[in-house]
Amino acid sequence: QGALEELPPYAHTHGDYPAGLPALRAMIAERYTVRGIPTMPEQIMVTTGAMGAIDAICHLFGGRGERIAVESPSYANILQLMREAGARLVPVAMAEGLTGWDVDRWRQVLRDAAPRIAYVVADFHNPTGALADDDQRRRLVDAARSAGTVLVADETMSELWLDDVEMPRPVCAFAPAGSTVITVGSASKAFWAGMRIGWVRAAPDVIRSLVAARAYADLGTPVLEQLAVNWLFSTGGWEQAVTVRREQARQNRDELVAAVRRELPDWEFEVPRGGLTLWVRTGGLSGSRLAEAGERVGLRVPSGPRFGVDGAFEGYVRLPFTVGGAVAEEAAVRLAAAARMVENGGVGGGETPRTFVA
């Protein structure tokens, strides 16, 4: 309603804002400044979701044949986007557990492979849930600067801490000018998946180039949705909604963890302190076979290889804790049924039940 009330003045204009509504760009810049990273509106481009932001970045910096360094594992949709852009992906293994990055390995890859860009999720990494600390962030930024690599820091999970945790400084705090570190944010993870508004923070000249690079895909982001996000930011509605989102995600996580531990006690995972996903070792079972068997019992579960390069992570699945309660209980029961099906060497027969969890 607040966005609709602010719409009439824009209805008398062309409605074309390739870099985003000036009011929203200023609001996002102010939010970075409050976080300790002085930012001008000229350093912000509003996009149609984080995917739109990364798509523009890939077409500007990571064209066909260019090397892009990525965490291994990494977010499946981003990997696919980069492949379709013609990039050559260079995987860099995460550190053990939920401890973030192996910076020495990153430094070696950046030096030897000389990727044009590197894509990382420092805050509650998707899919593992890992949280990189301040020292890792500083050292990785230094390594990227030395190698001449542009570091793309995806912050879409940064507000989804679920436990008492002291959040490290943003990656861009270690290179605030916005040339070495390009930051991507989004409303869809922390607020609502239907709010497809994202943004980029970078140096003004990089923003101008990104605005030109995005034109092949779209000429801007819908005005009404931008007004809605600006209203949420300016009224305190954002903080209220994200608080509710955190509480629900925490409850969902705890219920899913309990259900999986009960139904599949041999499977192993570490409970993340934030984010929206569990990264689960499947006790030696094939993640791809589990995904196939899951469809047979009405459960959609992403297999580990979707999150890797060249078929890695066959022994994993990713479980989102976007649902809880009875749905999480039933999902774990069906996942255990899929595991038994794989163990017995078959995928069953008969009519496939209605898919239960996407």
Task: Tell me, yes or no, whether 272 and 336 share the same domain.
Answer: yes
Q: Are residues 28 and 146 in the same domain?
A: yes
Q: pLDDT, tens digit, for every residue of 182-221? A: 999 999 888 877 888 999 999 999 999 999 988 877 877 8
**Alpha helix locations (H) across 215-286?**
223-235, 237-263
Strand partners, 89: 68
Is 354 domain-assigned?
Answer: no
Tell how strand 181-186 and strand 150-154 pair up.
parallel
Per-residue DSSP letters for 291-356? HHHHHHTT----BGGGGSSTT--TTEEEEE-S--HHHHHHHHHHHHHHHHHHHTT----SPPPPP-
Asked, for residue 66, whether it belongs to a domain, the answer is: yes
Instruction: Answer yes or no: do 225 and 164 share one domain.
Output: yes
Find the range with the poorest average confidence among 99-113, 166-180, 183-197, 310-324: 183-197
Please check whether residues 133 and 115 belong to one and the same domain.
yes
175, 253: one domain: no
Tell whether 110 is covered by a domain: yes
Helix/strand/coil for 211: helix
Do 179 and 39 lie in a common domain?
yes
Backbone dihedral region for residue 278 (phi beyond 0: left; psi -120 to 50: alpha; all else: beta) = beta
Statement to judge: residues 250 and 322 lie in one domain: yes
pLDDT tens sequence across 105-121: 999 999 999 999 999 99
Q: Is residue 52 part of a domain?
A: yes
Number of domains in the chain: 2
- For 205, the domain range is 2-235
200 and 248 assigned to the same domain: no
Identify whether 275 is part of a domain: yes
Do 270 and 326 lie in one domain? The reply is: yes
Q: 280 forms bridges with which residues in the sheet?
A: 317
What is the arithmetic mean of pLDDT over 123-147?
97
Helices (H) and strands (E) in the chain, counts: 12, 9
Per the domain annotation, does 299 fall within a domain? yes
The answer on 219 and 247 residing in a single domain is: no
Identify the domain boundary among 197, 214, 235: 235
Strand pairing report for 117-120 and 67-72: parallel
* 163 and 182 fall within a common domain: yes
Residues 240-269 pLDDT 10s: 999 999 999 999 999 999 999 999 999 999
In a domain, 142, yes or no: yes
Q: Is residue 349 part of a domain?
A: no
User: pLDDT for 65-98, tens place per residue?
Assistant: 999 999 999 999 999 999 998 999 999 999 987 7
In b/e form, how buried is each residue of 256-285, taking b as 16+ CB within 10 angstroms? bbebbeebbeebebbebbbbbbbbbbbeeb
Domain boundary among 176, 206, 235: 235
Tokens of 139: 């050292």
pLDDT at 358 over 60: no
CATH number of the domain encompassing residue 262: 3.90.1150.10
| Residue 342: half-sphere exposure toward Cβ, Cα within 13 Å | 22
- The pLDDT of residue 4 is above 80: no
197 and 280 fall within a common domain: no
CATH of the domain at 87: 3.40.640.10
Picking from 235, 254, 273, the residue at the C-terminal end of a domain is 235
pTM of structure = 0.92
Rounded Cα distance between 211 and 30, Å, is 21
